[in-house]
Amino acid sequence: MRIFALCAAALVLVAPMAGAQDDAAARAKARQDSIAKAVKDSIALMKELGGALAAPADSAAAARPGQNPPSGPQGGPTNPRLLPDISAVGDFVADLSPDGSTQEDGARFSVREVELAVQAVVDPYFRGDVFLGISDLEGISIEQAFLTTTSLPHQLELRLGRYLMPVGKQNTTHRHDLHTIEYPYVIQRFLSPDGLKGTGVQASRVFSPFGFYQELIVNAVDRFREREDSLSPFEPVNKSLGGLGYAARLRNYVDISEAANFELSFSAITGRREQPLTPTYASLLADGVNAAVARQSVLAADLTYRWRPLQEGLYKSFILQSEIMHQLNESDPGIPGVNGCEDCAATSLGYAGPTRDFTGAYVFARWQTSQRTFVGARYDWVQDPLIDGRTLNAGSVYLEWFPSEFSKLVAGYEAVSPSGGETVNRLLLQATFALGPHKPHPF
Amino acid sequence: MIRRISLLLVAAMLALAPHLAQAQLKVVTSTTDLYDIAKSVGGDKVNATHIGEGYQDPHFIEAKPSFVLQLRNADVWAFVGLDLEIGWMPLLLDGARNPKIRLGGSGYVDASKAIRVLDTPQGNVDRSMGDVHPLGNPHYWLDPENGRRIARLFKAKFTELDAKNAAVYDANERAFEAKLNAAEKGWAGDLATIRGKPVVAWHTSWRYFAEYTGMNIIAFMEPKPGVPPSPSHLYTVIQAVKRTGARAIIMEPFYDRKVADLVAKQTGIKVLLLPPSVGGIRGAPVNDYVSLMTYDMAQLAAAVK
């Protein structure tokens, strides 16, 4: 603008010198008028462009010295190369239990998992999220990888890929984001020790016919629970579409006051799983078949009460949470017959999978004691399928300390008491940290 | 039969047309300050609501599902930006499933695009610097010039989405600025009192306010943004207060004042709870943006004179 004005001024000064002759003077005057008009137009245009954001002439702030122009409209994009968000979470666990490590691999200190996340908007229609899990026990695995729609009408959302299954409350949270070091026993036993995932498609919709938040989530996934490598069934569990995993969850969230709220939700999942045959019976079968295919379902209800006063929310909060799950097992799944001995296929002779139903639950409470510290306690009660449905009771207490939003240290003590077995005392320490962009806080 | 149904449909559409024409823009804002300015500019042509309350820390709002209900039909989502809402906004926008208010949507309004940003870090940035905002300090609404800029931004956005009411938005925006200008003239005495006075601030949220008023922040209670005061840092704060004769510790009502009281006990400095946002102190006359600025100015002037 300034250069333009200087050029215009120079031209204006030079113009009369060129007007020694009459016709030249006329041309010069015309040029002068033209330039003056251009300058006037430019000034008007600049005023117009600046008008949206610049202060009006009568504004008291207009005269303030040193006021720079706004940065936004002139600034470039903050991510000009369209790079995805890349982040990593480290999850370390130390097991200082007095009677030896209670970890699956017997380690006293272990990197339980490193999670690598790559997340970005794919195009105007989808966003993509990829979470790779790296651990000493399992190597590298695809924890989650899914595509989510972003622009469907009527608050519909579709998700395609592998993701944490929306069954129960805590299963929808990454293990390292839990308030406790491990998932409750009912989730470990009925769903998966490190969170139940599924690969398939999910559809969900938010609605509010009664004035509070409701969300219905339905899923169809390749199978219910991971396959156990040691089991070889006589046919794939998903041979028919009826063998896929199907799940649904209905969330109901209600604000009681500005500080308190609760969520009461219901979930169900069903699918066919490999279940073991008796070794004797399996030895009669050809091709190494040692498993039957049986339907297993889980019905779940969860209740979470939260209290966090808005003004004192940095220092005070309380959560009370409980989940109950009921596992239903097909009692007579049908197993392959043996040549010449059709009666041998009777379940009572050859089937070694669960034939009864199991129930489990937990109650968890967490109290914030300062800006950075929380104490929690959990009580677990499960009819444990791993010990033939005998009852497992566990009580645990936790102390959490957050040096910042991006690191967490947890100390936990747990007494686990399987019925008929000795009480096991566990002392666990956990440290997690997050690298990369600031992630939203889980709710 | 088909003809009758068609006639009924046409009649129904004609009956609904005036209501549709009068439909208000649904505006949701992240803070009460943006809400008040949006309401001032939009008047009765917009239906404005807000997510955060003035008396809570805007960094740590919980992404409650009930907020999703507010956002799912919104025409405009106006937020402070500069990562102030990074801890909760993505969850709500994902949950709302409303393309209009996602990045790139017609109703996605990042108010920071209209202002002059302070404290943009230079060079490398990492979290050893505390809860640093890499895009700059987001507490810009505490400078009334930025209040004006936000109002103009809202006028432009509302006009774009609802052109038929452009004249109303223009008139409302001018009225808002006139009210602010008039109030500003009344602050002259307070500003003269405040200018150059040493104060301690809890968080970097008062940087824009300091830029406007000329108050001199000689120390922050937080050693780094978002990091609670440590004993060794408090010692340096106490020494700074004694050295400079600072008169007040300015802090938001959502921080724990016990530590500030400790410094006050050691030095005689006043602890001044100042609302950083509209509605920031229950019962105080800070129910709109202009009142908020007037109140903060008066309280600070009284504390440091």
**Do A404 and B127 count as a contact with CB atoms less than 8 A apart?**
yes
Question: Per-residue confidence at A36, pLDDT binned at 50, 70, 90?
Answer: low
The predicted structure's pLDDT at residue A342: 59
The predicted structure's pLDDT at residue B11: 59
In A54-73, the residues whose Cβ lies within 8 Å of chain B are 55-56, 58-61, 64, 67-73
Q: Say which range, A12-21, A126-135, B39-48, B280-289, has the weakest mean pLDDT.
A: A12-21
Q: How far apart are CA A284 and CA A115, in angstroms?
A: 44
The predicted structure's pLDDT at residue A438: 80
Contacts of B136 in chain A (CB under 8 A): 71
The predicted structure's pLDDT at residue A379: 98
Nearest to A159 by CA among A247, A91, A99, A71: A247
Structure tokens at A225: 């629970």
Contacts of B89 in chain A (CB under 8 A): 440
Answer whether residue A411 shows pLDDT above 80. yes
Q: How far apart are CA B142 and CA B140, in angstroms?
A: 5
- For residue A275, the surrounding DSSP H or E stretch is strand A260-276
Question: Per-residue confidence at A57, pLDDT binned at 50, 70, 90?
Answer: very low
Task: Find the mean pLDDT for residues B159-169.
Answer: 97
Q: Which comes out higher in pLDDT, residue B299 or B5? A: B299
The predicted structure's pLDDT at residue A53: 43
CA distance B299 to chain A (A): 20
Structure tokens at A437: 């962009």
The per-residue pLDDT of chain B, averaged, comes to 93
Angle, in degrees to the nearest 10, between helices B32-42 and B144-161: 50
Q: Which comes out higher in pLDDT, residue A63 or A328? A: A328
Task: Find the mean pLDDT for residues B20-35.
Answer: 88
CB nearest A314 (choices: B60, B66, B116): B60
pTM (two decimals): 0.85
The per-residue pLDDT of chain A, averaged, comes to 85
The predicted structure's pLDDT at residue A284: 79
Distances (CA, A) of B78 to A54, A123, B1, B37, B89: 20, 23, 48, 11, 11
- For residue A322, the surrounding DSSP H or E stretch is strand A318-329
**Do A55 and B145 count as a contact with CB atoms less than 8 A apart?**
yes
Tell me if chain A has a CB within 8 Å of the CB of B214: no
Token pair 């999978």 is found at: A353
The predicted structure's pLDDT at residue A61: 39
Contacts of B214 in chain A (CB under 8 A): none
- Classify residue B112 by burial, with Cβ atoms within 10 Å: 0-12, 13-18, 19+: buried
Q: How far apart are CA B76 and CA B48, in angstroms?
A: 9
Answer whether residue A8 shows pLDDT above 90. no
In B35-64, the residues whose Cβ lies within 8 Å of chain A are 53, 55-57, 60, 62-64
CA distance B79 to chain A (A): 14
Please answer whether residues A215 and A250 qualify as being in contact, where contact means their C-beta atoms are separated by less than 8 angstroms. yes
Q: How far apart are CA B76 and CA B109, in angstroms?
A: 7
Contacts of A71 in chain B (CB under 8 A): 115-117, 120, 136
Task: Find the mean pLDDT for residues B67-78.
Answer: 97
The predicted structure's pLDDT at residue A46: 41
Answer whether residue A51 shows pLDDT above 80. no
Question: Per-residue confidence at B132, pLDDT binned at 50, 70, 90?
Answer: confident
The predicted structure's pLDDT at residue A24: 56
Answer whether residue B183 shows pLDDT above 90. yes
CA atoms lying within 13 Å on the CB side of residue A337: 5
Q: Which comes out higher in pLDDT, residue A317 or A59? A: A317
The predicted structure's pLDDT at residue A364: 98
- Interface-testing mutation among B59, B97, B137, with chain A (most A C-beta atoms within 10 A): B97
**Do A72 and B110 count as a contact with CB atoms less than 8 A apart?**
yes
Percent of chain B past pLDDT 90, that is, above it, reads 86
CB nearest A70 (choices: B64, B114, B255): B114
- For residue B3, the surrounding DSSP H or E stretch is helix B2-21
The predicted structure's pLDDT at residue A33: 64
What are the contacts of A422-425 at 24+ separation with CB within 8 A? A424/A97, A424/A99, A424/A102, A425/A97, A425/A98, A425/A99
The residues with which B158 forms a beta bridge, in sequence order, are none
CA distance A56 to chain B (A): 9
Task: Find the mean pLDDT for residues A50-68.
Answer: 40
As separate numbers, helices (DSSP H) first and strands (DSSP E) second, chain B gives 11, 8
Q: What is the pLDDT of residues A207-259, one digit of tens each?
A: 999 999 999 999 999 999 998 889 999 889 999 999 999 999 999 999 999 99
Tell me if chain A has a CB within 8 Å of the CB of B117: yes
- Cα torsion B271, B276, B281, B286: sign: positive
The predicted structure's pLDDT at residue B93: 96
Search chain A and give the residue with CA nearest B135.
A78
The predicted structure's pLDDT at residue B125: 87
CA distance B182 to chain A (A): 9
**Do A440 and B66 count as a contact with CB atoms less than 8 A apart?**
no
The predicted structure's pLDDT at residue A348: 60
- Cα torsion B266, B281, B297, A63: sign: positive
Token pair 């100390």 is found at: A411
Q: Say which range, A4-13, A171-180, B285-294, has the weakest mean pLDDT.
A: A4-13
Provide DSSP, B104-126. TSTTEEEGGGGSPPP----S---
Q: What is the pLDDT of residues B245-266, one digit of tens each?
A: 999 999 999 999 999 999 999 9
Task: Find the mean pLDDT for residues A130-151.
Answer: 93
Q: Say which range, A27-41, A63-77, A403-417, has the weakest mean pLDDT.
A: A63-77
The residues with which A58 forms a beta bridge, in sequence order, are none
CB nearest B64 (choices: A56, A255, A315): A255
Tell me if chain B has a CB within 8 Å of the CB of A33: no
Q: How far apart are CA A171 and CA A284, in angstroms?
A: 40
In B132-171, the residues whose Cβ lies within 8 Å of chain A are 135-136, 144-145, 148-149, 152-153, 156
Provide DSSP, A151-216. --STTEEEEEEEEE--SSSGGGS-GGGSSSSS--HHHHHHT-TT--EEEEEEEEEEE-TTSSEEEE
CB atoms within 10 A of CB B152: 23
- Classify residue B279 by burial, with Cβ atoms within 10 Å: 0-12, 13-18, 19+: buried
CB nearest A371 (choices: B55, B116, B228): B228
Q: How far apart are CA A190 and CA A443, in angstroms?
A: 24
Biggest CA pair distance of chain A = 125
DSSP single-letter state for residue A341: B
The predicted structure's pLDDT at residue A21: 45
B248-251: strand order across its sheet: B216-220, B198-201, B248-251, B270-273
Q: How far apart are CA A383 and CA A376, in angstroms?
A: 24
In A383-442, the residues whose Cβ lies within 8 Å of chain B are 404-406, 438, 440-441
Q: What is the pLDDT of residues A270-287, one digit of tens each?
A: 999 999 998 888 887 777
Contacts of B97 in chain A (CB under 8 A): 150, 152, 155-157, 206
- Interface-testing mutation among A177, A310, A401, with chain B (most B C-beta atoms within 10 A): A310
The predicted structure's pLDDT at residue A5: 46
Answer whether residue A58 shows pLDDT above 50. no
Tell me if chain B has a CB within 8 Å of the CB of A120: no
CA distance A185 to chain B (A): 27
CA A26, distance to chain mean position in Å, is 76
